[in-house]
Amino acid sequence: MLKSNHEDNNKPKYNLFKNSKYAISGLRITFRNEMSFKVEILIAIPLLIAIYLVDFEMMEKTILLITLFLVLIVEILNSAVENVVDITTKEYNILAKNAKDMGAGAVFISICLHVMCWAIFYLN
């Protein structure tokens, strides 16, 4: 028999404060366990300062902020995919490898997008 959403242990009833707590916990877990995320945070800090200081239009700065945070968001999602793959199988599986590689590819594209935005705005 199918369970309704309120009976699912993995999907508790919505509560703004609890959900915020889960989100912060997820950020902590990602920072604690994922070296790539740590490196991206360390790179993001001076980039945030640079975005503030650089003489670009407000729209350009906004795009740079969005693409910078997009890199972090995609990295978190990639880490989540990797965790799910790891609990699904401990043995080598081409589909597991593909899923992890696809997640890494998404991170790579988000980084390229951010770099391209910097290049376009700087060269204009």
Burial letters 98-121, b for 16+ CB under 10 A, else e:
ebeeebbeebeebbebbeebbeeb
Instruction: Tell me the per-residue pLDDT of 21-36, one tens digit each, with 9 for 90 and over.
Output: 999 999 999 999 999 9
Instruction: Tell me the per-residue pLDDT of 80-104, one tens digit each, with 9 for 90 and over.
Output: 999 999 999 989 999 999 999 999 9
Q: Are 78 and 106 in contact (CB under 8 A)?
A: yes
Active site residue 75: yes
Q: Are 124 and 117 in contact (CB under 8 A)?
A: no
Q: Which sign, positive or negative, has the C-alpha torsion 47, 104, 60, 23?
A: negative
Q: Point out the catalytic residue in the list 40, 75, 82, 91.
A: 75
Q: What is the DSSP letter of 2?
A: P
Provide the whole-model pTM: 0.86
Task: State the Cα–Cα distance between residues 102 and 109, nearest whole angstrom.
Answer: 10
